[in-house]
Chains A and B, each alone.
Chain A
Amino acid sequence: MYPEDLKYSETHEWVRIDKGFATVGITDFATKKLTDLVYVELPSIGKRVTKGASFGVVESVKAVSDLYSPVSGIVVKVNEKLSKEPEIITQDPYGKGWMIKVKIEDQTELDTLMDSEEYKELVKKEKKE
């Protein structure tokens, strides 16, 4: 449920790192919490995103939630398909449901992210609360 090759943030985003680029999406746990998605708003290519700051918005039938960037950098690719079919995020959060690809500015930021095991613990804790 939480692939081992990914890094995770406390706000339930995942990052796939590939030679200085980071692909970002939200976790399976996040999609379950959000329930049915009806709308997603993502930044445009060329925009700078900052670690910990909002880079977009997802709207479900119950609430509107911010998406927080797990890394800082310039957006180089955006998953345009999601605007018409946000349900892809729920169906395949780590694959076709990816949101943006960012050129990483500061590699050291990645050190603060969680690995799969740590994230699993966080989810366990949140489920208990």
Chain B
Amino acid sequence: MREPLIFEKSRRGRRGCSLPEYDVDEENLEKLIPKKYLRQSGLGLPQVSEPDVVRHFVRLSQQNMGVDTNFYPLGSCTMKYNPKVNEGIANLPGFTRVHPYQPQVGVQGTLRVLYEMEKLLCEISGMDSVSLQPAAGAHGELTSLMMIKAYYEDKKEHRDTVLVPDSAHGTNPSSSHLCGFRVIEVKSNKDGEIDLNDLMGKMSKRVAALMLTLPNTLGLFERNILEVSKIIHDKGGFLYLDGANLNALLGIVKPSDLGIDIMHFNLHKTFSTPHGGGGPGSGPVGVKGRLAVYLPVPTIKKDKKGYYLNYGRAKSIGKVRSFYGNIEVIIKAYCYLRSLGKEGLKKISHNAVLNANYLMKRLKKYFYLPYNQPCMHEFVLSAVDGKMKDVRALDIAKRLLDFGFHPPTIYFPLIVKEALMIEPTETESKETLDAFVSSMIQIRKEIKEDPSVIRQAPHNLSIGRLDEVKAAKELKLRWEEKESGD
């Protein structure tokens, strides 16, 4: 059953609370404010009782699908469980009851956490310096590209091009455009990795950087990464790492060892802070030595007196965000890192890769796996036409909802047709993975026997199949009162 909008539940005069009588004289508003500035119509707020409000929002919350309710194998998003202890710590009054304009001497604890977090990210990545300010991954990309641009402007080198593999996240070309670079796409080879010949042909002294995701979006490790790195560095470019898939590498591979010069981290993916529904995320950037002077201000320093924010950096690209980043998110990620430790982090990546390979091995008997080789933390199946009797990736995703699973990422990466991109993460048990496999097998059977069940899914949710074309073309975001009133 569809839950009505709170406005539709409104009845004139109904109230959730009773306010006391006025104890001051009522003024005529028009005497105080010129009439032209006064609203002529009502506010249009819903008029509902307290139980109406409570039931409405509790029902809506129960219809939500999230990592706290369901398995959520959304590829490239690393929807791992978010440990609740991190919430508890980030909500301690020492962290929450501070103000960004407070003197620094009164927030030494928070500054210390930020300082240590920078050091932890340096240790994990092998980068020399980190800025925690970018608010999410794409913001980290933009910040990084701005630093690269500043570097070449400083060196008076004209480099206007960024190379991006055809399997890259869409944010890579977008960030490059936004930063004023020209984007050239590098092709993948038949194994799903960067085509070295194509890369060599496109690399030139006009190229500022190659933006690389590792493992790539097919969930594959670029086995020629050292070769790639050499091609870029020989012509004086930077190798940028999109850290979205870092969950596969923790404590196993240091990006700096692969020749990465600059990168971003997604604390909300790899380091377990809640995300989805708009964030907030956190996308720190890390750089090797020669780029460090361009990092945004402020950075966090420590001297005899304690921790402080350092603004005195002449070559910095400046501020990229108000205040000091999404601090609560950073604190949660810090707790996560500290509770796991070095060995714990390694186990995360081991289990993330193990879980993905287990799922892949079981599912490839039923669905087409275009790049058939061991994967890292995720893999991509294809619901190709023909074999699938007109059932598309979208239909499979909708049907999975009926079985109580959040669908995988679909139609990405673009180099796989009808892609289903599955990332189980390390926090799922074998039982959960097996239940997901059983549902996928069931779906495979339905495709063969009765594909209309899939094409019309979902069947068991409060809302059935939505008209996505209409939703995109006739976008309506505002409720309007009908003529009949209440």
List the interface of chain A (C-beta within 8 A of B): 33, 35-36, 38-39, 59, 61-63, 87, 127, 129
| Known contacts A35-B392, A38-B472; A127 and B385 CB within 8 A of each other | yes
Q: How far is the CB of A47 from chain B (nearest CB, A)?
A: 18
What bracket does the count of chain B residues touching chain A fall in? 10 to 19
Q: Which of B296-304, B359-367, B410-418 contacts A (4 or more CB under 8 A)?
A: B410-418
Residue of A nearest to B414 (CB): A63
| Contacts A59-B472, A62-B394, A63-B412 supplied; 12 other A-B pairs, CB < 8 Å | A33-B417, A35-B392, A38-B469, A38-B472, A38-B473, A61-B394, A61-B469, A62-B393, A62-B411, A63-B414, A87-B469, A127-B386
Residue of A nearest to B416 (CB): A129
Neighbour of B468 across the interface among A33, A36, A127, CB < 8 A = A36
List the interface of chain B (C-beta within 8 A of A): 370, 385-386, 392-394, 410-412, 414, 417, 468-469, 472-473
Q: How far is the CB of B216 from chain A (nearest CB, A)?
A: 18
The 4 closest A-B pairs by CB, nearest first: A38-B472, A62-B411, A61-B468, A36-B469
Q: How far is the CB of B415 from chain A (nearest CB, A)?
A: 10
B residues in contact with A59, CB < 8 Å: 472
Neighbour of A62 across the interface among B385, B386, B410, B473, CB < 8 A = B410
A residues in contact with B469, CB < 8 Å: 36, 38, 61, 87
Residue of B nearest to A37 (CB): B469
B residues in contact with A62, CB < 8 Å: 393-394, 410-411
Q: How far is the CA of A129 from the CA of B385 in the complex (A)?
A: 11
Q: How far is the CA of A84 from the CA of B449 in the complex (A)?
A: 39
B411 touches A63 (CB 8 A): yes
Q: How far is the CA of A61 from the CA of B467 in the complex (A)?
A: 10
| Known contacts A33-B417, A35-B392; A61 and B386 CB within 8 A of each other | no
Q: How far is the CA of A62 from the CA of B411 in the complex (A)?
A: 6
A–B Cβ pairs within 8 angstroms, 13 of them: A36-B469, A38-B469, A39-B472, A39-B473, A59-B472, A61-B468, A62-B394, A62-B410, A63-B411, A63-B412, A87-B469, A127-B385, A129-B370
Q: How far is the CB of B477 from chain A (nearest CB, A)?
A: 16
A residues in contact with B412, CB < 8 Å: 63
Q: How far is the CB of B183 from chain A (nearest CB, A)?
A: 11
Q: How far is the CA of A87 from the CA of B469 in the complex (A)?
A: 10
Q: How far is the CA of A87 from the CA of B414 in the complex (A)?
A: 22
Residue of A nearest to B190 (CB): A129
Q: Which residue among A35, A39, A62, A127 has the maximum number of chain B CB atoms within 10 Å of its CB? A: A62
A residues in contact with B410, CB < 8 Å: 62
Residue of B nearest to A39 (CB): B472
Q: How far is the CA of A122 from the CA of B340 in the complex (A)?
A: 52
